[in-house]
Amino acid sequence: MKRKQADWQKKLVSYVHQKGGRMTRQRLEVAQALVEEKGHMGVGALSDVIKKRFPSISKATLYRTMKLLCDAGIAKACEFGEGFLRYEALHPEEHHDHLICTSCGKIVEFEEKAIEALQEAVAKRFKFEIVSHRLDIFGLCDKCRKLTNKNDTPKE
């Protein structure tokens, strides 16, 4: 019995064929790993995951494939001030924003209807049509904040 092909797979195959490319097993494996892992992965972390499935894959292939996945609308590249890109699978029916710890790098995804409503109200006030948006809030997570506060206490 043949399994139903996921929407992201159909989208990827269609995009690659539209661009005149070949749909390779490597591309499918990379996309599958990104979709399954969730979260925000850099190429290094993605390489660790994918090498378990496909040991011969190169970092150059991973970088090219991630660009392809972004161009196809299957993934999104995110810059969180670390000096490298992280990637996340796109789910068109979902939207989220990020809290990013500047100390440990922890990334928390959140949804807040009040923020979304406020953005819509601001856009309407300025007669601006929102095509997309991204909100990244940088600060310290609870754990890092407690460590920082603990280290800042005066010694007797």
CA–chain centroid gap for 80, Å, is: 10
Q: What is the CATH number of the domain that holds 52?
A: 1.10.10.10
User: Where in the sequence is the domain holding 150, given as residue range(s)?
Assistant: 95-156
Q: 134, 79 in Cβ contact below 8 A? A: no
Q: 140, 150 in Cβ contact below 8 A? A: no
Is pLDDT above 50 for 16? Answer: yes
| Count of structural domains within the chain | 2
What is the pLDDT, as a whole number, of residue 117? 92
Of the residues 73, 91, 109, which one is the last residue of a structural domain?
Answer: 91
Are 56 and 118 in a shared domain? Answer: no
Is pLDDT above 50 for 3? Answer: no
Q: Distance between CA atoms of 26 and 23, rounded to whole angstroms? A: 9
For helices 59-71 and 25-37, the axis angle rounded to 10 degrees is 70
What are the tens digits of pLDDT across the range 108-149? 888 889 998 999 999 999 999 988 788 889 999 999 998 887
Are 77 and 37 in a shared domain? Answer: yes
Stated pTM of the model = 0.69
Q: Distance between CA atoms of 44 and 58, rounded to whole angstroms? A: 11
Q: Distance between CA atoms of 74 and 16, rounded to whole angstroms? A: 12
Give SS3 for 110. Answer: strand
What is the pLDDT, as a whole number, of residue 138? 93
What is the pLDDT, as a whole number, of residue 38? 74
CA distances from 32 to 4, 25, 69, 134, 154 (A): 14, 10, 11, 25, 51
Q: Distance between CA atoms of 113 and 32, rounded to whole angstroms? A: 30
What are the tens digits of pLDDT across the range 67-87? 999 999 889 898 888 888 999
Of the residues 46, 70, 91, which one is the last residue of a structural domain?
Answer: 91
